[in-house]
Structure 1
């Protein structure tokens, strides 16, 4: 089959899998993302390698688990030797650029050791990581943080050109509301989430990133490209511009998924996360009712802008040679299970939407259908490589290409479980538990029926997803389920052991080395010539 020429890799930040109409939300209409699902394949059981921005994205970009690549949290650099999407696709002539967020930081210590800096071509690629720089913006720019990084942000420059005043319009306009006397009310405070952003809708982050993605695509002409359009929203600050800030009322909110029984003698790690301030805040009456309309409005805004982008791709003929992928880096608890943020392994945190549109006729059999195959974030790199004709790298990549599923050829040996992990050393939960930074680890394996979570140094969690789909009844310490826990622990151990760590040599080279030993004159254990 012909290779895919271009790839539009769309990622939202902190978008739950169940907050799109094509995934069943009864009140949040997302017709343009739904339209993509009607033209492609929607995966119903897609999971991230870690429910935190940085490590999740590192796995999306490398095709390797966090356990393997080592970027375990947002500020932990991806080691300089790890290959990413750009490294795999650039030899195919594909320009691989990011528009928006990656939440990755460079391995500056290793760069210095090798005499690299960001002003050189190779140093720039290594620091990005592996993407050709275009419009990098991680979307976290409070005044103090921006000043610490030198005060530079292209989006701020653009806003100032439009008349938004001050050193940091991102903070004071795009992510803030306004009080009755004109005072700036910061979007960092959840009580202000129901206010409209001070920025015009057409000047918001979502509008800007969509515009920049189109400009990148237009600028590429006929040359092949991968554009990673990485939206900053609906991640906090939960502030939406008018008219999106108040489109949704209380009657449109999904019921909260939590039960009083979860607070009775919970798993110690789970209890520690429930005791964190963000969880206590989201468990208070009225917080969800203030935040969720903004969260939903931000999703609706993304859908509207994607609709215009998809229309332009259609009109320009690029839908015919462009693969389009839509996903998220993780979910958002939003008060479910008495938690805020993400981090732990309930479905609302670790499960994400994933839609793939393949323009080729080979994918016609699956258009508009839904796959219940277990897929993981690490599957996208090998998918993109196969789509563009890049040579496979099974000695490095731990995911599997989705191409057979896209073309209706379900492999008999497809995985029957998914894996995720968390390094919670950076959270107050670790301090509450009084454990060291290297001990604050958790690992999840999920099958059709069971979800098992191993916390280092603490009891595990176990959920029967058939009998308890809301994950209220933790069987992790129930003596009647010891055999099940042991079986799932072995599965988890097998997954960790199966990591790809011989990354410097292919399997073919291993076999060739073995076969060439005698020819090279190396003789081991032979008694006499001719024996």
Structure 2
């Protein structure tokens, strides 16, 4: 199905592709969090489509985002962890949309590492117009900021630091000492890197904070680009750590807003070896303390509400410019955050808290009226966004490359595709983590893959026994049924489904299916007489 321009779609829509880093799917009001304030995002869900069963393709920043940007699984694009370069040959969202006349830009984070070796081998100058696009995931880097700037890694040309210094904030690295640090009751500077300081207000004025600044730069881009079709990837750094928020968001929530931890003593008695190794990571040890959860989670929630408020400001600006009625807004995140659930911190494994993500698509045009407020009961994946955006631009997705499926039919009230996916898949490569050494594994032995049909979630750890959860009977994933004799048939079925998934990976990306169709069995017409007497 292709979204054609007609009376209700008079021109190509703009696409505002918003991503919040490390935002759990269940930390939004529209996804049933009982106390968090996210009215702007809730309104997008109420007036758009809320895909509540969406999974990221790798619950780690870098590989998840590379799947978002390529429309391909992590094992296909190969950038399996943070700072693993994305192959120079991978076609990205920007490559697809620019062919339809779009300006495709980034404001914020990608966590992409350029394939410097591949560019050198091909003679691509990183400073050339082509080299910049290849180095930036196919985006025009209107302003890239990955939001990770401790002093020892500080980029000397960080635009946000320049911005802060121009407004009178002092210090070598005000990103750290101002935007991500606070002052304690004794007047001492305290770093937001330490979770004990999460209750403090960041020293920066809210209007100059990272989230506010990123929104300002998005507004700058839209002002500059209006009049021509554009796709802006607005990639907020927060609520990713350091968990520290500016006033008034730092104390907007309290301990009373912290939901009971999803962790039982039984999970610690005989945990799966890989899960046990992750439980030993420092972030897991700390988040297993209720004191830490009560200190961090209110700040985490405040950072989410701050994103929501600035998204409201951006939407209001779109309306003022007259751009809102022709701008499709997508809101999502790259992965979740355990926050102590299952005795874990950070992300990387496959519980719902980590691998399930929010995905809301709002199209204000009349053609999407039939779908407003819907929450389809289907499995979506982050790789579905590239083919969706390609269809919104009026193009046919390149099916020999893209492994996701367009969600456009669900946006415009069309009949559900007869053969929608039955399974969603997520992958992880934990070779860089301490868990690998705890388990005594080589770097090539650390892959794990999750597959779910919406009810059953099966996890293959390659060198260890699998896990199996019944998400219907056990939505909090407390009972591993992989060794339950009654579930042996389910394990076999899920193993086969995973094997089938591996077989279907799209690795022939240089020749389209249509080209093969038109060149099948024509050797004799080309003068190659095979088998003639």
Q: TM-score range by the shorter chain?
A: over 0.9
1:164 aligns with: 169
Q: CA deviation at 1:157?
A: 0.4
Among candidates 411, 418, 440, match of residue 434 of structure 1: 440
Distance in 1 of aligned mates of 2:57 and 2:209: 30
Unpaired segments ≥5 residues, structure 2: 6-10
1:507 aligns with: 513
Once the two structures are superposed, residues 149-171 of structure 1 have per-residue CA deviations (whole angstroms, 9 ceiling, x without a partner) of 4x220000000000111221101
Distance in 2 of aligned mates of 1:199 and 1:348: 30
2:35 aligns with: 27
1:311 aligns with: 316
2:430 aligns with: 424
Distance in 2 of aligned mates of 1:518 and 1:255: 71
2:170 pairs with 1:196: no
2:21 aligns with: 13
Distance in 2 of aligned mates of 1:392 and 1:448: 26
Higher deviation after alignment, 315-324 or 16-25: 315-324
Distance in 1 of aligned mates of 2:402 and 2:290: 45
Q: CA deviation at 1:28?
A: 0.5
Say if 2:384 and 2:407, in contact at 8 Å, map to a contact too.
yes
Distance in 1 of aligned mates of 2:256 and 2:196: 20
Among candidates 254, 257, 263, match of residue 249 of structure 1: 254
2:492 aligns with: 486
Among candidates 117, 125, 144, match of residue 117 of structure 1: 125
Structure 2 counterpart SS, 1:286:
helix
2:527 pairs with 1:521: yes
Q: CA deviation at 1:181?
A: 4.3
Say if 1:67 and 1:496, in contact at 8 Å, map to a contact too.
no
1:144-163 to 2 correspondence within 5 Å? 144-146=152-154, 149=155, 151-163=156-168
2:90 pairs with 1:90: no
1:359 aligns with: 364
Structure 2 counterpart SS, 1:514:
coil
Among candidates 105, 114, 117, match of residue 106 of structure 1: 114
2:396 aligns with: 391
2:240 aligns with: 235
Count of aligned residue pairs for this structure pair: 524
Q: CA deviation at 1:239?
A: 0.6
Higher deviation after alignment, 44-53 or 359-368: 359-368
1:142 aligns with: 150
Say if 1:4 and 1:322, in contact at 8 Å, map to a contact too.
no
TM-score, length basis structure 2: 0.97
Say if 1:31 and 1:303, in contact at 8 Å, map to a contact too.
yes
Structure 2 counterpart SS, 1:394:
coil
Q: CA deviation at 1:483?
A: 2.0
Once the two structures are superposed, residues 275-324 of structure 1 have per-residue CA deviations (whole angstroms, 9 ceiling, x without a partner) of 11110110013000000010000001011111111112123221211111
2:183 pairs with 1:178: yes
2:380 pairs with 1:372: no
Structure 1 counterpart SS, 2:379:
strand
Higher deviation after alignment, 383-392 or 5-14: 383-392
Structure 1 counterpart SS, 2:397:
coil
Structure 2 counterpart SS, 1:92:
coil
Say if 2:255 and 2:295, in contact at 8 Å, map to a contact too.
no
TM-score, length basis structure 1: 0.97
2:330 aligns with: 325
Q: CA deviation at 1:221?
A: 2.7
Once the two structures are superposed, residues 92-147 of structure 1 have per-residue CA deviations (whole angstroms, 9 ceiling, x without a partner) of 1111000000000100011111122321111111000110121000000000011x
Distance in 2 of aligned mates of 1:392 and 1:161: 45
Q: CA deviation at 1:523?
A: 2.1
Once the two structures are superposed, residues 30-69 of structure 1 have per-residue CA deviations (whole angstroms, 9 ceiling, x without a partner) of 1111111122111111110010000000000000000100
2:456 pairs with 1:450: yes
2:80 pairs with 1:75: no
Say if 1:20 and 1:29, in contact at 8 Å, map to a contact too.
yes
Among candidates 264, 270, 288, match of residue 265 of structure 1: 270
Distance in 1 of aligned mates of 2:182 and 2:483: 47
Q: CA deviation at 1:448?
A: 2.6
Among candidates 279, 283, 290, match of residue 278 of structure 1: 283
Distance in 1 of aligned mates of 2:453 and 2:383: 17
Distance in 2 of aligned mates of 1:438 and 1:523: 47
Distance in 2 of aligned mates of 1:163 and 1:486: 63
Distance in 1 of aligned mates of 2:195 and 2:56: 26
Structure 1 counterpart SS, 2:525:
coil
Unpaired segments ≥5 residues, structure 1: none
Distance in 2 of aligned mates of 1:391 and 1:303: 33
Distance in 2 of aligned mates of 1:251 and 1:404: 41
2:411 pairs with 1:403: no
2:68 aligns with: 60
Say if 2:226 and 2:323, in contact at 8 Å, map to a contact too.
no
2:8 aligns with: none
Distance in 1 of aligned mates of 2:444 and 2:411: 40
In structure 2, the CA distance between the partners of 1:285 and 1:392, relative to structure 1 (3 Å rule), is closer
Structure 2 counterpart SS, 1:18:
coil
Say if 2:524 and 2:530, in contact at 8 Å, map to a contact too.
no
Once the two structures are superposed, residues 467-500 of structure 1 have per-residue CA deviations (whole angstroms, 9 ceiling, x without a partner) of 2111001112334422211110110111111111
Distance in 2 of aligned mates of 1:467 and 1:324: 34
